[in-house]
Structures are given as C-alpha cells and as structure tokens.
A and B are shown apart, each in its own frame.
Chain A
Amino acid sequence: MALVRVISSDGAAFLVSQRLAKRSGKLKTEIETFRKSSDNSEAQPEIRIVTIRAEILRLVLQWLQQHQNDPVLPANQNEQDGRGDAEMGQSQWDRDFLAPMDLGIVMELILAANHLEVKGLLDITCKLVESKITGRTVDEIRTAFKLKSDFKGNEEEQTRLENRWCVEN
C-alpha cells in the first residue's frame, strides 16, 4: 500500500495511505506534484503542513478515515446559493465526533478543512458554528464564544440603530 508522510506545524508525522490522503484536495495536489518532480516512483512523499498543528491534523485525518468510502463532494457544490451539504452528509458519527469539542477547536478545524480542501468536514464544522449564532440572543452568542462586550458609551446602541436602518422596510 502506497503511503504518504504528513507532517504538522509542530513536527508530528502521520503516516497515512495515499488513497486516504487524496481525499483532501490539497494533499492530492501535493502528492501529484511530488510524483511529477521525483525521479523515483517508489519514493514516499513527505508533505509538511505549516499552518496546522498535530492535534488538529489528527482530527482531520480521523474524520477522513471514517469517511474514506463516502463519495467525494465537489468543492463548488451548491455554489450558487452558497450552502453546503452539512445536513445531508452529517451522520451520527459526525455528531458524536464534534460533540465533545471546544468551539475553539472547531474553529481551528474549519481553518484546517478549508486549507486542506476537505469539503465534507468544512460543511459540518461551519454548520456547527452557524448553529451557535442563528436564533441566539447577543448574550447567548457572547457566552458561546467566550466574549465580552467592549463597546463604550452609546456605541452598541449606535450599531443597533445602523442594523435597524438596514433591515427595516
């Protein structure tokens, strides 16, 4: 079985099958580039991902392994309305996978999935963040994202007035 060595920003190496790695658009491109530039067809590609740390890379690879037999979603699917296929593609395993995660980790996963071009993972993680915003009050969002209001004086009221001006008919 052909393998590829994926190295995280903090130096942790993950040895995965090329079949699995190629489910990521970015890793697929890197493997193909390596094949073209390398004289030895048997050489093991080594890909360094400088923007993703080991903990997050392990989660991405874990998700890819679980979904290795799923059909690959095209990157531009539902491009017109901008929506992903999170609801369609989200399984019980996905829900259990994301449930114990801190929102900060989920946000890092979004960036990692976007960088590695893993559309399925990007859709479900974005859906999770969206669910923390949609239908929530301002205070609930602040609590979920661990934020504090830093508006001074009537700045917050001013922003609310701008919002009202935008949406009222």
Chain B
Amino acid sequence: MKSLHLKIDRTMSYLIKERVMRDKSDQGDDSVTLADLVLAYEKNLSVKKEGRIEEPASFETRMENVEVAGYHFPADNLTEVWLNIFEKLDAKDKITFSKTCGEWHDWVASKRTSFLFSEVLPVVALTSNLPVKELLNCRTICKSWSRDFNLLYAAHPSHFRLESVIGALENKIWEFNTTDYRMARFKRESYNSVLKNFCFNKYDK
C-alpha cells in the first residue's frame, strides 16, 4: 500500500499539470497562471486527505502534452510545491533536475546546506570541539537539525554506559539535578525515540 502511495505521489505533479491545462483548454484559454497551479495543488492535497486515490493513466502522454504546450513552472514563486516534488526524486533524478536549467540549478544549490547537514554533522562533531550548549542550541534551528542532533547523541559512544550512569546517579538522590544525570537521561530518551522511529519505519515497510 505504501509503495502504491509513493508511485502516485511521483506522478502527482504531472497529474496536477495535466488537470490544470485540460481544464483551461476546455474553457478556450491556453494560458496557465501560478494561481491556477496553487489551487490545483491544494485541491490535490484535500483529495489525499479524504483518502480518494486517482489511478494514473498513461504517463508518457502527459509528458508530451506538457512539453508541447511550452509549459513553464518558475521555481522561485512556488517553493513548497517544488520542495515536495524534489524530496520524492531519487539521487539520479535530483542531479538531472539540477542540470535542467540555470534557475533550477541555483534553486537546488541554495538547498545544499540543508541537504548535506545530516552527513556533515557527525564529521564536524568528531573533528571540532563544539560545546554541549552550542550543540543543544542547534536543536532549535529546524526539525531536521533537531532530529540529526538527537541521532548524534543517541549514537555517541558514551551512550553505551548510560544505563550504568543513570543507575549510579539514581541511587544518590541528592545528585538528581546534576548536569551528568540530566544529559544521561536526555541521551537515553533521544535514543529510545530514535529506536522507536526506526522500528516503526522498518515494520511499516
């Protein structure tokens, strides 16, 4: 079921384009405005929320229709739509996407820092010496950073002695508020949350 959803999501952009163009040509108007596309996209979201799924017909036909009409879709004005589409592409398609034209290449380049951060963070954390306060501060930047930092904490080698640290400190009630104890508890909770997500995703597939 999940794979069917994915397939439908990948073809959804073409469905939206085709639907807008077809509706417009029925009305005798060949021009497609951004407002039409945004409206179509929102309609599409509401359809998804209601759980109704349209069966995609011929994929190639839609591609031809779009190209023949000389359809242009400026990335700058509709970032959320592009981001949604871009996230569903695989690595090879992402490269092709960025090579399509200068405008798209620049748009992808501007997103590079957020795409690369999850890979760069473990290297930076190992090589440099970021204070704990700064690392924690980074959790409030955005959701993906928060997730990456939680994962970094959970995978830290010191985690393997967390249980013993917590156990030892819990026996000393007067040390409950120490930073060591709080950090250890935080790491354990982060680890449990990551583990839960991992198991959920694994069994969901």
Contact = CB atoms under 8 A, between A and B. Distances in A.
B142 interface: yes
- Most chain A Cβ neighbours within 10 Å, of B119, B127, B133, B178: B127
A112 to B, nearest CB: 11
Nearest to B189: A162
Given A166-B183, A169-B179, A146 B136 contact: no
B94 interface: no
B195 interface: no
Interface string A124-151: 0011011001110010011001111111
**Which secondary structure dominates chain A's binding surface?**
helix
A138 B112 contact: no
A165 B129 contact: no
A138 B141 contact: yes
Contacts, number: 114
A7 interface: no
Given A110-B120, A129-B124, A134-B134, A150 B143 contact: yes
Given A141-B138, A147-B141, A166-B182, A110 B130 contact: no
Contact of B128 (A114, A127, A159, A167): A127
B127 A108 contact: no
Interface of B: 109-114, 116-117, 119-120, 123-124, 126-134, 136-146, 177-179, 182-183, 186
Given A159-B139, A167-B179, 16 more contacts: A81-B129, A83-B128, A103-B113, A107-B112, A107-B117, A108-B116, A110-B120, A111-B119, A122-B123, A129-B128, A130-B130, A133-B138, A134-B134, A162-B186, A167-B132, A169-B178
